[in-house]
């Protein structure tokens, strides 16, 4: 097994899977052993911001402003 840091794409995929609760145990263990915590924190914060902005956009479209 190589000690290769996950790519940005792999990090986003892992954070998305964990965010929705579908992360496999195998991938979680790989993330803990090979990934850098700072990368996961940064990608997690970006993902939460994107989720909140998307949620606000959907609500703004559904509920018209007076």
Quick: pLDDT tens for 43-53.
999 999 999 99
How many structural domains does the chain have?
Answer: 1
- Where in the sequence is the domain holding 47, given as residue range(s)? 8-62
Q: Is the pLDDT of residue 66 over 80?
A: no
How do residues 7-30 score in pLDDT, each as one tens digit? 888 899 999 998 888 888 888 888
Residues 6+ apart with CB under 8 A from 43: 8, 11, 12, 15
* Separation of alpha carbons 16 and 20, rounded Å: 6
pTM: 0.76
Element (H, E) at 11: helix 8-19
In a domain, 22, yes or no: yes
DSSP letter for 63, please. Answer: S
Region of 7 please: left (phi>0), alpha (psi -120 to 50) or beta: beta
């Amino acid at each position: 097994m190589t000690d290769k840091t996950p790519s940005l794409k792999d990090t986003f995929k892992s954070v998305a899977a964990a965010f929705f609760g579908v992360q496999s145990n195998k991938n979680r263990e790989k993330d803990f052993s090979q990934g850098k915590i700072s990368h996961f924190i940064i990608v997690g914060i970006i993902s939460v911001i994107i989720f909140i902005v998307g949620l606000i956009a959907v609500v703004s479209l559904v509920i018209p402003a007076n």
